[in-house]
Structure 1
């Protein structure tokens, strides 16, 4: 689904990513690579291949859109150094011509030299007008000269049908001052959004993105 935000054309993808045409940028949030392994170490049976699925999905989008840069809005890796860091290193070699930018999230706890070795440019936040890329939204910082793009909370929305049926789906959530992306990773938590009256909400329904509310 194509929308316009602050005069920029954005394509909302069912893979839970955004393609920003003008900047040739693919934007994702919250991959949480290594989270499955973290749970497995605690004795919880989580499929180990989830991390590879996340990387394969990202690879497909890169091949399809050929972006010049990939922007990750925090929580690329779930915790400290793990096998998925090495998996990333091998995977990253496929795209030597693409710049990878990571806006640091609360789970991005590797030392800065590791990110350099992984060929990831690290930011605390990143102003790329008209957008300010952050991981966690601080609504008190609402600015007139920049629109926030963020992740962190893994937003979901409840949609209701006839006969009291309902479903809870990942969503993109846009307000006048910020937008929250759904988590790209397949093994993350979720936060149920209660949309504001003036918000635009776009739910991911299978291989479609559908407008739930707002123009």
Structure 2
């Protein structure tokens, strides 16, 4: 197991640890938060005849397991798109993984890709919500339609768009890093799953952007 070099970030009087595995550990709630895992995406593409390495799904599950063993959370909150599409063989890997943590509370904020029957999740003890308020935060999947408009229920934590930040070097070389993007009314988490893309987002002066490198998280602004 690799110990993660997270970046501490105190926000709204809460202690958040921004992890290079593209998740957040929230110390006060003993909660691990991740967005857009997209389990089953490998199986979905392979089912369509597209050659994708099988071990990508297991890698994401192993990373989740490492984070759980390291931080020992009471709960894991998934901010939507836990599973990519309809049922396929990758579901069996998720069932096996769940059986290793029977006492761990797992909460899923349902996203647009979460189309598997609710019963399959509830049979595994996964708690489903469309939105959930925990402390000062409102857990959603989709970002706010108007990021300038504050949600009455709390500061939004969400996913969906797989945010990235573009950096340009002195030689004009360009790289786009996954990022945590904290704005005035919401924070958008990077996609946890390896088999996902990222979209460069525009940042305003008030935003706090944290880029994700292989083994650490760095403040961009």
1:110 paired residue number: 116
Residue range with higher mean Cα deviation, 108-117 or 18-27: 108-117
Kindly indicate whether residue 204 of structure 2 is the aligned counterpart of residue 209 of structure 1: no
Superposition pairs of residues 116-135 of structure 1, within 5 angstroms: 116-135=122-141
Superposition pairs of residues 9-24 of structure 1, within 5 angstroms: 9-24=15-30
Check the 8 A contact 1:34/1:79 in 2, yes or no.
yes
Q: CA deviation at 1:165?
A: 2.2
* 2:62 aligned counterpart, secondary structure: helix
Residue range with higher mean Cα deviation, 12-21 or 83-92: 83-92
Q: 1:165 aligns with which of 161, 167, 173?
A: 173
* 2:178 aligned counterpart, secondary structure: strand
Residue range with higher mean Cα deviation, 21-30 or 107-116: 107-116
Q: 1:81 aligns with which of 49, 69, 87?
A: 87
Mark the runs of 5 or more structure 2 residues left unpaired by the alignment.
1-6
Distance 1:111 1:39 in 2: 20
* TM norm structure 1: 0.96
Distance 2:88 2:125 in 1: 17
2:4 paired residue number: none
Distance 1:209 1:16 in 2: 9
Superposition pairs of residues 131-146 of structure 1, within 5 angstroms: 131-140=137-146, 142-146=150-154
Superposition pairs of residues 38-117 of structure 1, within 5 angstroms: 38-117=44-123
Q: CA RMSD of the aligned region, Å? A: 1.2
Check the 8 A contact 1:16/1:183 in 2, yes or no.
yes
Distance 2:108 2:127 in 1: 6
* TM norm structure 2: 0.93
Distance 2:161 2:145 in 1: 14
Distance 1:208 1:137 in 2: 25
* 2:220 aligned counterpart, secondary structure: strand
1:179 paired residue number: 187
